[in-house]
Amino acid sequence: MIVVTGGAGFIGSAIVWRLNQLGKDDILIVDELGEDEKWKNLVGLNFADYLDKGNFIDRIIDGDPDLDIEAIIHMGACSSTTEKDADYLMHNNFKYTQELAKYCIGNNVRFIYASSAATYGNGEQGYDDNEKELNTLRPMNMYGYSKQLFDLWAKKNNLLNKLVGLKFFNVYGPNEFHKADMRSVVHKAYGQIKETGKVNLFKSYKKDYEDGEQMRDFIYVKDAVDMTLFFLENKDKNGIFNIGTGNARTWNDLVTILFKSLNKQVNVEYIEMPESIRDKYQYFTQANLHKLFEAGYDQPITSLEDGINDYVKNYLIQEKYLGT
């Protein structure tokens, strides 16, 4: 059985969708559905069972002999970059991941977990997934720090050659409807265009960047999933890897492509950035993918133009989810 934690979430449900396409449905989904509409991501997907994340970790800690697991793909976490409850992030993102890792290593189970590009902080140290440089990174928010802590724990305990950590950059695509403020700008901007005919982007507060010219590595969720599952199939590849396109694009690029996909004239208003995030804002991110390619990943990566076009026309306009 393949376990996908966060399996009802954005990337997790997309992983289940792709596994289904590959003919796999012996899947245990672990999540916490709560009161939002995340459950809709599961409609149309095929899986063997569902467990609440609390019940699952209890069974892991107790060493439940009835668990017959081939791999755990651990996407479950609080992904809010503005979450201020540090104790919650320590328990949910760091300690929970520790317990899963110890179980997998002790039981010869493949362990693939989500780290984050947020661990790179302001990018002063670059965006190279060099494990030797992990200690030099300085995340700018508690979410990034909670992810960094596990990476460092795995390194300190000499476990990086026994598991896979994936540093996801800016992922966008279907099945993110439920993510509220943590939705991609593609999804948010689509809603703004429908409602007002224009898109709001943050002004720049650095002289080197014009308004809207801040840059991100935007990766389509289908590519992020394919990169993740590469490590499920190639069990001899371990360590920490960037998950991105290797090609930074501006926010202006992104919204221009979005307007064009809707056959609408570009209409952007630049607004003040909240002071609470100005000193934590990343002006540039770009994944170095040399290590991923060196590991053998050779699939073509969707361009921002093609990714947004697919997302808009096949999912957003039709209000469809993956698998429906």
Residue 65: pLDDT band (50, 70, 90) is confident
Q: Determine, yes or no, domain membership for 185.
A: no
**Residue 316: per-residue pLDDT:** 96
Residue 295: give the domain boundaries.
2-171+218-246+286-301
What 3 state SS string does the chain have?
Answer: CEEEECCCCHHHHHHHHHHHHCCCCCEEEEECCCCCCHHHHHCCCCCCEEEEHHHHHHHHHCCCCCCCCCEEEECCCCCCCCCCCHHHHHHHHHHHHHHHHHHHHHCCCEEEEECCHHHHCCCCCCCCCCHHHHHHCCCCCHHHHHHHHHHHHHHHCCCCCCCEEEEECEEECCCCHHHHHHCCHHHHHHHHHHHHCCEEEECCCCCCCCCCCCEECEEEHHHHHHHHHHHHHCCCCCEEEEECCCCCEEHHHHHHHHHHHCCCCCCEEEECCCHHHHCCCCCECCCCCHHHHHHCCCCCCCCHHHHHHHHHHHHHCCCCCCCC
Query: What is the share, in percent, of the chain residues with pLDDT greater than 90?
Result: 82
Span 155-164, pLDDT tens digits: 999 999 999 9
Among 75-79, 96-100, 231-235, 304-308, the least confident range: 75-79
**Residue 217: per-residue pLDDT:** 97
Residue for token pair 């952007």? 268
Given 143, 145, 297, 315, the catalytic residue: 143
Q: Can 143 be counted among the known catalytic residues? A: yes
Q: Determine, yes or no, domain membership for 167.
A: yes
Q: Can 179 be counted among the known catalytic residues? A: yes
- Number of structural domains, the chain? 1
Q: Determine, yes or no, domain membership for 273.
A: no
Q: Determine, yes or no, domain membership for 178.
A: no
Whichever domain contains 101, its CATH number is 3.40.50.720
Q: How far apart are CA 213 and CA 236, in angstroms?
A: 40
Given 24, 102, 179, 188, the catalytic residue: 179
**Residue 180: per-residue pLDDT:** 82
Q: How far apart are CA 175 and CA 170, in angstroms?
A: 15
Span 127-140, pLDDT tens digits: 999 999 999 999 98
Mean pLDDT of 303-317: 97
Q: Determine, yes or no, domain membership for 308.
A: no
* Chain centre distance of CA 212: 23
Q: How far apart are CA 280 and CA 14, in angstroms?
A: 29
Handedness of CA 120, 29, 301, 110 (dihedral sign): positive
Residue 85: pLDDT band (50, 70, 90) is confident
List residues bridging with 240 in a β-sheet: 165
Q: Determine, yes or no, domain membership for 318.
A: no
Structural contact between residues 290 and 129, judged by C-beta atoms closer than 8 angstroms: no
Residue 291: pLDDT band (50, 70, 90) is very high
Q: Determine, yes or no, domain membership for 149.
A: yes
Mean pLDDT of 262-283: 92
Q: Determine, yes or no, domain membership for 256.
A: no
